[in-house]
Amino acid sequence: MCWAVSQTGERPAFVDMPNGSESGANKLSKADLIAGLRASIERCDRTFATLTPATMNEPSGLRPGMTKLGALIYNTSHTNEHYGNLVTSMRLQNLVPPSSQATGAGRGM
């Protein structure tokens, strides 16, 4: 999503597809997936940092009528949905998700 908005650098491989032998995620090692995730986060950080009031309403090129700001808001919402799924999975495994762990003040969120 962030690459589509910024159009900078090489287009990243698409691995978010239905699970199966042809899924890009199933063809990569854990280390490769982690590296790709880190690169994705860095790409989004750069994309958010370059958005300005002058460019936020430009077309994103993703969907008709979707602005760059709209695409990045959608990306954030979608990421939050995935985090919610991870939290549920962690709690089912009796793990405490990062957002619920104690902070420096000794309190959870």
Q: What is the DSSP letter of 98?
A: G
Kindly tell me if the per-residue pLDDT of 109 is higher than 50: no
Across residues 86-100, what is the average pLDDT?
92
Nearest alpha carbon to residue 2 among 62, 88, 85, 65? 62
Kindly tell me if the per-residue pLDDT of 22 is higher than 70: no
Structure tokens at 65: 């009528």
Residues 6+ apart with CB under 8 A from 78: 1
- Asked if 88 and 57 touch (Cβ cutoff 8 Å), the reply is no
Structure tokens at 20: 């199966």
Q: What is the C-alpha to C-alpha distance for residues 4 and 62, in angstroms, rounded to an integer?
A: 7
Q: What is the C-alpha to C-alpha distance for residues 86 and 98, in angstroms, rounded to an integer?
A: 10
pLDDT for the residue 98 = 87
Give the tens place of pLDDT for each residue, 37-74: 899 899 999 999 999 999 999 999 888 999 999 999 99
Q: What is the C-alpha to C-alpha distance for residues 39 and 10, in angstroms, rounded to an integer?
A: 12
Domain boundaries along the sequence of the chain:
2-100
pTM over 0.85: no
pLDDT band at 12 (very low <50, low <70, confident <90, very high): confident
